[in-house]
Amino acid sequence: MGISQIALPNGLASTEPRVVLRSCTEARQALYAKYADRIEVNRDLDRSLVSFQANKAEPFYAWFKYKEGFSSRLVDYLLERLAPEPGILLDPFAGAGAALFAARDIGWDAIGIELLPVGFRSMVARQAAERVRSDVLVKEIKKIAGVNFAQCAKADYAFRHIAITAGAFPPATERQLAGFRAYCESEVRDPDVRNLMEFACFCVLEEVSYTRKDGQYLRWDHRCPRTKVAGRFDKGKIQGLPQAILRKLDAMASDLTDRSRLLAPPSHRKGSIDIRLGSCLEILPEMRASSVDLVLTSPPYCNRYDYTRTYALELAFLGMGEDDVKALRQEMLSCTVENKDKVQQLRRLYRRRAKRFEAVQEAYGAQEAIGEVLGSLDVYRRAGALNNPNVPRMVRNYLYEMAFVVMELARILRPGGKVVMVNDNVRYAGEEVPVDLILSDFAKRFGLSVRHIWALPRGKGNSSQQMGAHGRRELRKCVYVWEKPKQR
């Protein structure tokens, strides 16, 4: 019982015959049994709500398609059902701020922590949009309609490429980018209008480039000057920068002119927003205990997505160099195979918080399902059956770092407060990593009660490659609800 035989197909390891791994699932089955009565299908939820998709047509979210987050409609639903009385809300993985702005508009004081400069820049632009006078913006848009940006170009404003973005733009577009930024800096006096105009440029980078975001990578059009571009991907017509910026600015001005289309007019905003740029692994330990009423968040999933590659153009636009991007990749939560462990970094961070550090070590070490998963993945790694040998390290580091996050959230939550988290389970070489159950067990060990593990009616399927090797099995896509018991 708890043992499944998994055949590894020939050819996965060049020197290995067909391998049969006896994969133990006993610890995972026991963990499932422990929380089975908390797992329930919530038919109010669907994939569009727990992703960016439901935001597509909304003002602001339509300006820049930041896909790493949930919808504002999900925030409304969760607040109404779980926390109808406003207080202090925290999102330690704030993204583009869906939780912060939706909660602020109905009276919450919201705190957001975001490490990726792309999300942080989007939130700052939204704050500028809320302050700006639409007539002033329209006036500036009319001014640039006839400007030849190429003639405004200055070397100081040239796009500073990193290796992954080199050759991303046609030469004319490259010069216009430098000219537009120089024009904004010298000619646009209102700081909020300048902010929005530069944000419009930020929003169209992909549109005017040879690239397209494709999962965790940039896909390159065959016409780009880069060598060794795989395939014959044709992006179609590549937009010119002036036309793309004007269309974007016109859409922004239209939304701002019709303020009713925004989440709430300025006079109706009752709460506040505090946005902090940095890693929650470093910021959470500094926050006061019992200082937050609700945590509403979605951390990066343990799915190998490297946001520093997906948003490479935007990061370079924001002035990040090669070393900056590499450092950012390592600073982010370990969700890519390139992340090295943060054990020594966390040990130093908790030097004066030794009891908290030891509590995490104990909780992580006691979680038998983690050892079971890592043991199975390591067998696959040695057999050459993983598409990247660093997958076990990534899974280990991700769960270890999330143990610190869960511990800190339990500490800063007020009695009676809740943590609501959106996350995905993952599978590698047929081995399921029950992230929902492991993190919920951490929460229980740190003093929270597991109220709900809401599963979406439709789970996440595995890839066609995985289906061929392991059959079709859905993974739970969940929203967890944990609560801190009230003091007696």
pLDDT digits (tens, 9 = 90+) for 311-337: 999 999 999 999 999 999 999 999 999
pLDDT confidence of residue 262: 52
Contact call for residues 58 and 82 (beta carbons, < 8 A): no
pLDDT digits (tens, 9 = 90+) for 348-378: 999 999 999 999 999 999 999 999 999 999 9
Mean of pLDDT values over 216-225: 88
More confident residue, 5 or 299: 299
Model confidence band, residue 9 (pLDDT cutoffs 50, 70, 90): very low
Does the pLDDT at position 257 exceed 50?
yes
Mean pLDDT of all residues belonging to the chain: 89
pLDDT digits (tens, 9 = 90+) for 14-34: 333 344 455 689 999 999 999
pLDDT confidence of residue 62: 87
Model confidence band, residue 58 (pLDDT cutoffs 50, 70, 90): confident
> What are the phi and psi torsion angles at 111 (to 5°)?
-120, 125
In whole angstroms, give the CA distance from residue 366 to residue 190: 57
Q: Residue 234 burial by CB count (10 A; 0-12/13-18/19+): exposed, middle or buried?
A: exposed
Does the pLDDT at position 419 exceed 80?
yes
Mean of pLDDT values over 343-349: 97
Q: Residue 136 burial by CB count (10 A; 0-12/13-18/19+): exposed, middle or buried?
A: middle
pLDDT confidence of residue 473: 72
pLDDT confidence of residue 268: 56
Model confidence band, residue 432 (pLDDT cutoffs 50, 70, 90): very high
Q: Where are the domains of the chain?
A: 3-41+279-305+320-483, 128-261
Model confidence band, residue 67 (pLDDT cutoffs 50, 70, 90): confident
Short-list 425, 474, 427, 472, CA closest to 453: 425
Model confidence band, residue 258 (pLDDT cutoffs 50, 70, 90): confident
pLDDT confidence of residue 273: 96
In whole angstroms, give the CA distance from residue 188 to residue 147: 13
pLDDT confidence of residue 269: 59
Least confident of 7-16, 376-385, 404-413, 467-476: 7-16
Contact call for residues 38 and 452 (beta carbons, < 8 A): yes
pLDDT confidence of residue 21: 54
Model confidence band, residue 65 (pLDDT cutoffs 50, 70, 90): confident
Q: Which residues are CB-neighbours of 252 under 8 A, at least 6 positions away? A: 63, 129, 137, 196, 200
pLDDT digits (tens, 9 = 90+) for 158-198: 999 999 999 999 999 999 999 999 999 999 999 999 999 99
Least confident of 102-106, 232-236, 467-471: 467-471
In whole angstroms, give the CA distance from residue 39 to residue 464: 27
Rg (CA), the chain: 24
